Amino acid sequence: MDKKDLSLRLKKKAIQEGFAVVGIAAVPGNARIKLRTKALERWLEKNYHSDMKWMESEKRKDIDLIFNGVKSIISVGYNYLSNENEEKIFKIGKFGQGKDYHKVIKSKLSILGNWLETKLPDCTWKVCVDSSPLLEKAWAEESGIGWIGKNSNIINKKHGSWLSLGFILINKELTPDKPAKSLCGKCEQCIDKCPTNAITEPFVINSNLCIAYHTIENRNKTIPYHIQKNLNGWIAGCDICQDTCPWNNAVPINFDSDAQPKEWINKLDFNAINWTDEEWSDKLKGSALKRIKPWMWRRNIQAAIES
């Protein structure tokens, strides 16, 4: 099987496994990868990553430190937009409402990796999700599955930005796709609608001003006042800059069971502030939201009530 045919069959297999989009990038990529790396360095210098010190890993700047000998990157996007996202008392980011996307994506990508081995017996590969120190959005853009929007999310023409990303790094050359071109144009609705002005300039997020950061990553006992007064019900993540994006106006729904909100999320109300650590731990099993500790949930709910 030649390289082009294998690449086409690989992408078809990825869609069959449940991914919304798939693309391939050649390593080391074009000059834009270096520009994105420089942008990361400037972001870190401004301390816009706040306490997320793992963002400082040198591996983000040198992909060979993640997987030596990598020649191609397969990028995929998993659509996490479900059909049960009506307005509730407390709001939770859509990315975390269903089954833990890390596990969903890793499982599907492992199937793809094993399939590749049957076609390329001497290949080696590595699966990465956002817990890996990969410059993921830059490589997703390089592989053509979407462009980095002004809200810093990957945006696809058909599926908008409701995509969790995953990657396979492989030591074989595949046929690369054309890098995506930005289609944000003059639109800055995401910037204008952010209530805390966390998007300090197009493509740049100051985590210190971000509702999602403070409800998920902030380990302090209290939420800063300038964040709390703008919560408007958000207690785990924030979708404002995505909800307002025109590219998300007509995105296909994912009816897969893995993407559907867990029952407790649909029923979340004021009583949740009284749940014990054990009750929270039980409800958070198999969820990406377990990163938010029980005491943080109570903190966030209390802050939302008082906002």
Active-site annotation holds for 64: no
Closest CA to 103 of 286, 292, 296, 299: 286
Phi and psi of 293, rounded to 5°? -75, 155
Specify whether the CB–CB gap between 37 and 136 falls below 8 A: no
Phi and psi of 95, rounded to 5°? -60, -30
Q: Exactly one of 2, 51, 64, 130 is catalytic; name it.
A: 130
Closest CA to 167 of 213, 132, 214: 132
Phi and psi of 292, rounded to 5°? -85, 115
What's the maximum distance between 2 C-alpha atoms anywhere in the chain? 62
Q: Which two tokens stand for residue 246?
A: 């025109």
Residues 142, 24: Cα–Cα separation, whole Å: 8
Q: Give the number of other Cβ atoms within 10 Å of residue 192's Cβ.
A: 11
Active site residues: 130
